[in-house]
Structure 1
Amino acid sequence: MNRTYLMFDIRRTLRNKRVLLFSVLMPVVLFAIFGLTIPDGASEGGISAIAYVMVSMAMFGSMSAAMSSGGAIAAERDGGWNRTLRLTPLTPQAYVASKVILSLLLAVPPLLIVFLFGRVAGHVHLDATQWITVALVSWLGALPFAAIGLVIGYVAKPDSVQPITGLSTMLIAAFGGLWLPVDQMPSLMKHIAQLTPAYWTGQTSRSALTAAGVDTQALLVVLAWTVVLGVIALRRFRADTARA
């Protein structure tokens, strides 16, 4: 891992305030609309309904932030950055790893702020172990979306990467059950939901709030999505660098 490049990437990304604001404000607004209007005592999937919505919106924010790295990658490709990388000792694996780490760092603020808003405004009560577990699992759940952001960055042009990322984020969240509980979807939509990584990351995160604990099967599916998408991203980087 090249720490110098990673720190450079972090500083450059943090200058893009619009991405950070969208990934934080959007899930907070959605939680306020859909979560704070829930009647007291309502439940969904065996847990408090408002906690269910809080975790779903936190996951939406973290996936939005994680996928946003595609814009920087597309800009780097357009500016000939890949040609420069070929002259450095930075390996493809190290480059992709640095982008994934950056995406995970970007996923932290939405999670923390939505959880804080849920605790203060929504009066969501969890014990310390539950807060830590759901935060950690939700954070790691951003991994497949970091890989999706990388893939988009390697296949899209700079002027189209943001619309593609935004549309992809909305569709994945909607069809994956982050905006509407899967149990309330029509039968066909339930099957479609299970084909998306958002469904499994949501299942993993929300299961941390149940008495049974984290859903191991859902966690394994999330890891499988991460590996597959990570391999695709790495291959796209190598192919793009070879053409540079």
Structure 2
Amino acid sequence: MQLALIHARYQLLEIVRIPVAVFGSAFFPAAAMLFFVVPFAGKDPVAATFATASMVTFSVMSANIFQYGVGVAEDRDQPWNPYTRTLPAGSAPRFAGRVLAGLALTYLSLVPVVVIGATLTEARITAPAFLLALVTVALVSVPFTLMGLAIGYSLPSKAAIVVAQVVFFPLAFGGGLLTAPDQAPAFIEAIAPYLPTRGAVELMWAAVGDYPLNPLSMAMLGVWVVVLAALAGWAYRRDEGRRFS
């Protein structure tokens, strides 16, 4: 655990030294709150609460896909990364440290969204629901962390940036993050339960309000976690084999 914390500290220091990296993760969700949620749903307490939860999920997805997808790919190009993979401690502390650092940055990226929701809209949430939402953030970050790791270990940095951008917006739009609950166009409602974003945002909606979870969305979210974990593990082993065999 001590080694994991050291790796997490290293990762955080490396990212904080480039503030634009932190700013980028928070900008799009905060901008979406200002341009879409505040003027169109800000005066309705229920709609504003659900919309803020959607933007929280949007921010979690953005932070993890780009942070791991692009960050891991860029790290693989640096001489420090192959060196750390030869150390006797193994890969577990480095992985745990990266995940801890990523989770810290994920929560940091949520601050503008939460502040905008609390000050510029009628969104309201109880203290227990707020604590539940904080726990849910860590839970829903899992599939997007795995997705980012799969991209980062599979592709060079220039390709990883493109792939992260290509998968990000279709997943956000197709999962219904940009519309009110159950108010998306018919074709979106048809495909949404099969995407990991839908299961993630439903968990957030259920955490902050009275929203019934769709069993199909939850089942598919579990399937995505298993598939993405297998893909990320395969990509890591493939990269390790190419570098050290």
CA contact (8 A) 1:35 1:53 kept: yes
Residue identity over aligned pairs, in percent, reads 23
The 5-angstrom pairing of residues 1-244 of structure 1 reads 1=1, 2-3=3-4, 4-38=6-40, 42=44, 48-67=46-65, 68-81=67-80, 83-181=82-180, 183-211=182-210, 215=213, 217=215, 221-244=220-243
Compared CA separation, residues 90 and 13, structure 1 to 2 (3 A) = farther
Compared CA separation, residues 205 and 168, structure 1 to 2 (3 A) = same
Q: Greater shift after overlay, 80-89 or 69-78? A: 80-89
Compared CA separation, residues 212 and 182, structure 1 to 2 (3 A) = closer
Q: For 1:11, give the aligned amino acid.
A: L
Structure 1 residues not aligned, in runs of 5+: none
Q: Greater shift after overlay, 234-243 or 30-39? A: 30-39
CA separation in 1, counterparts of 2:201 and 2:189? 14
Task: Supply the RMSD in Å over aligned alpha carbons.
Answer: 2.5
SS at match of 2:39: coil
1:177, CA displacement in angstroms?
Answer: 0.8
CA contact (8 A) 1:152 1:161 kept: yes
CA separation in 2, counterparts of 1:226 and 1:100? 15
Compared CA separation, residues 193 and 232, structure 1 to 2 (3 A) = same
When normalised by structure 1's length, the TM-score is 0.86
Q: For 1:158, give the aligned amino acid.
A: S
Question: What count of residue pairs does the alignment treat as equivalent?
Answer: 239
Q: Greater shift after overlay, 10-19 or 223-232? A: 223-232
Structure 2 residues not aligned, in runs of 5+: none
1:57, CA displacement in angstroms?
Answer: 0.8
SS at match of 1:74: helix
CA contact (8 A) 2:205 2:211 kept: no
Q: Greater shift after overlay, 113-122 or 82-91? A: 82-91
CA separation in 1, counterparts of 2:52 and 2:152? 29
1:141, CA displacement in angstroms?
Answer: 0.9
CA separation in 1, counterparts of 2:88 and 2:159? 31
CA separation in 1, counterparts of 2:214 and 2:176? 19
Per-residue CA distance 1:189-242 (angstroms, 9 max, x = gap): 2222112111100000001123478x4955665454334322321221112111
